[in-house]
Structure 1
Amino acid sequence: MESRSKILVTGANGLLGMNTVLELLNQGFLVKAFVRDPKNCLRINHDNLEYFVGDITTVENLEKAMIESQFVIHIAALVDPKLVDYKVFHRVNVQATKYVVEAAIKCKVKKLIYVSTSNVFGYGSIDDLGNELKPMMAPFNKMHYAISKFHAQQYVLSKSDVLDVTVVNPTFMIGAYDSKPSSGRIIQNCLYNRLVLCPSGGKNFICVKDVSIGIVNAMQFGLTGECYVLANENLSFYEFYKKVRSHVKTSFRIVKLPNWLLHAIGYVGSLIRLLRIKTSISIENVRTLSVNNYYSNDKARAELFMKFTPIDEGIHDAVVWFERKNKVDK
């Protein structure tokens, strides 16, 4: 893979998209950043970077964007947990992904990297970690976002006989440039509140910089039709919040939430959603907070030659970035 290859990155204005663009530029690639709304994009001035404004649900936009692109990294996705209609997720996460694949085949792209999520695979405990061989599990198999990513991933893999495709499945990403914000809300919660409510479960946390490196490594080393979970530290939420507390200037109290109270809040949220009122609270969403959503990174280490950074570095990067952004916004 030549460093002067031109690479199209969809979703370039998000947390992972921005970090991936920066990593590609750092390694000398030519990058075309596909963004939907330039007003919500952190603009970077770089000789090797150009922007393409368009809609990934439009085939014509995708084909035009892929002209002269040797590689495509498809990151763009709808994540919003407040949305109650699966059709919206299907249109952006499944149908648009089909358009990306079809355009890549038509434009004779050398390789497509599809960014999915670890939750299309089964999670596990510290003693029996989730991996690429475990089937999707509840409560994620009842969540619109995860379901849509599963179907999109299946479609991408079904085309591996006519297109060189590799899938990466990151866990919960932490780091700088979370402009929307997405996963960074968990950091913001600690920065701006004196009291942080802590659920009983846990997640696998990974520095977003490591995921961007994993994507670049997958372009070179990822096998056709294979999936790679990009994961790092398995931590309970309480352990994670303690780490965050060591990086922020103001102290906050961590209050553990019992499962019965968490689930009661979830049922109330689900009732509200039945009224078609947007809220991120639902029984499915809160159940994800009471399981140990842990994964192994063995395959990525072995086949993508990955090395992983302590999550403390990602937390530090996110804290510093949000603090600076807050000063600018004021």
Structure 2
Amino acid sequence: MILVTGATGLVGSHLTLHLLENNRQVCAIYRSNHSIQKTRAIFALYGKEQLFDQIDWIEADITDVPSLEFAFRNIEYVYHCAACISFDPADEELLRKVNIEGTANVVNFCLEYGIKKLCHVSSIAALGDPKEHETIITEETEWNPEKPHSDYAISKYGAEMEIWRGQQEGLEVVVVNPGVILGPLFWENGSGEIFTRVANGLPFYTKGTTGFTTVKDVVAIMAKLMESDINGERFTIVSKNLSFEEMLQWVASSLGVKPPSIYGQPWTTSISWRLDWLLSLLGKKRKLSRSMAQSLHSHNHFSNERIGFALHYTFTDLKPYIGWLAGLYPKK
């Protein structure tokens, strides 16, 4: 039996479907009945509604130790997809509790119940900081604690430390570090928000660069890694490094709307995150933090050579995939 945490999120829902399509028995954690409906919608999107009823759902929370006791019974393999994603500094405590403490709980239960292997979904945000002479970020790039990092990045780095602790105590583990994950239906958060903002007439673009990938690639690679003899390694999952300008143009073209046309220069975003902070004092949810504003202008290029070499994996072509996603975006 396989346990999936975060089964109601983008990666977890697609992973659960992928596993069931390959005749695996899946136990999935959920926190509310409402969240399960998003997973049901993912299954329906691919015409696999009949597989949804095969999921063994267990109500639990990775930060609530007693609720996990039942979830780990009769489990052999664990995919840890649950995480808190936020770039609002006000969520620092929540990020640490869910991403670090929650992961520590999962690792502890894996050790206690003799789990055969654990796959942890991390992020490129937890990879290292390139030195002045380095231009490509790899799995071996060292994390520099003296460099500025978002609270999210710090929490994901801390979560990985818990995974490596588990490995030192005898647990077999693999870690994946995906770039920005593109996928359907989650239009209110994550990468889906890119489509929503562009569709609503986003005026600004920046020229920073980061890595993008598809949820299809992430779950396929996770499953292959778990079925392999690979242990104690991390893998960057990036289909392509793109500038935010190019990504926004692709999305706008696919949606048939006007692309962002005003270059948001560094001084512009610097003012914007300060204004956003002031508005947060009045109770408004933060949309642009200092670290996020800086990342919009950072030119980060990530290597996917390690996963290509390990699995001989061919990534999905991003441009047609974005076109497919745009076709699913709800019309006004």
* Offset at residue 8 of structure 1 (A): 1.0
**Corresponding residue to 1:17 among 4, 12, 17:** 12
Residue 50 in 1 paired to residue 56 in 2?
A: yes
Query: Structure 2: where are the runs of 5+ without partners?
Result: 44-48
Query: For structure 1, which segment, 77-86 or 267-276, has the greater mean C-alpha deviation from structure 2 after superposition?
Result: 267-276
Q: 1:123, CA displacement in angstroms?
A: 5.9
Match of 2:128 in 1: 122
What RMSD, in angstroms, separates the aligned Cα atoms of the two structures? Answer: 2.4
Question: In the TM superposition, what are the counterparts of 1:140-151 in structure 2 within 5 Å?
Answer: 141-151=148-158
Pairwise mapping of residues 128-207 of structure 1 onto structure 2 (< 5 A)?
A: 128-136=135-143, 141-161=148-168, 162-178=170-186, 180-193=188-201, 195-207=202-214
The answer to whether the 8 A contact 2:205-2:260 is kept is no
Candidates 287, 291, 298, aligned match of 1:284: 291
Give the Cα–Cα distance (whole angstroms) in 2 for the partners of residues 15 and 252 of structure 1. Answer: 26
Size of the aligned set, in residue pairs, is 318
Deviation for aligned residue 1:171: 0.6
8 Å CA contact 2:8, 2:35 repeated in 1: yes
Deviations 1:48-85 (A, max 9, x none): 32222221111222231121221100011111223514
Cα separation, 1, equivalents of 2:125 and 2:86: 16
Which ranges in structure 1 are unaligned for 5 or more consecutive residues? 1-5
Aligned 1:89-100 pairs, distance under 5 A: 89-100=95-106
Structure 1's 102 and 199: CA in aligned 2 closer, same or farther, altered over 3 A? same
Change (3 A) 1:137 1:242: farther
- Aligned-pair identity in percent equals 28
| Residue 26, structure 1, aligned to residue 17, structure 2 | no
Q: Which amino acid aligns with 2:137?
A: G
Instruction: Tell me by how many angstroms 1:292 deviates.
Output: 1.4
What amino acid does structure 2 have at the position aligned with 1:205? F
Structure 1 contact 221–303 (Cα < 8 Å) conserved: no
Instruction: Kindly indicate whether residue 228 of structure 2 is the aligned counterpart of residue 233 of structure 1.
Output: no
Change (3 A) 1:211 1:202: same
Residue 40 (structure 1) aligned with residue 35 (structure 2): yes
For the residues of structure 1 that align with 2:144 and 2:253, how far apart are their CA atoms? Answer: 33
Which of 298-307 and 262-271 deviates more?
Answer: 262-271
Given residue 306 of structure 2, which amino acid in structure 1 is its aligned partner? K
TM-score by length of 1: 0.88
Structure with higher RCO (Cα < 8 A, 6+ apart): 1
SS of structure 2 residue aligned to 1:122: coil
**Is the contact between residue 269 and residue 283 of structure 1 (CA under 8 Å) also seen in structure 2?**
no
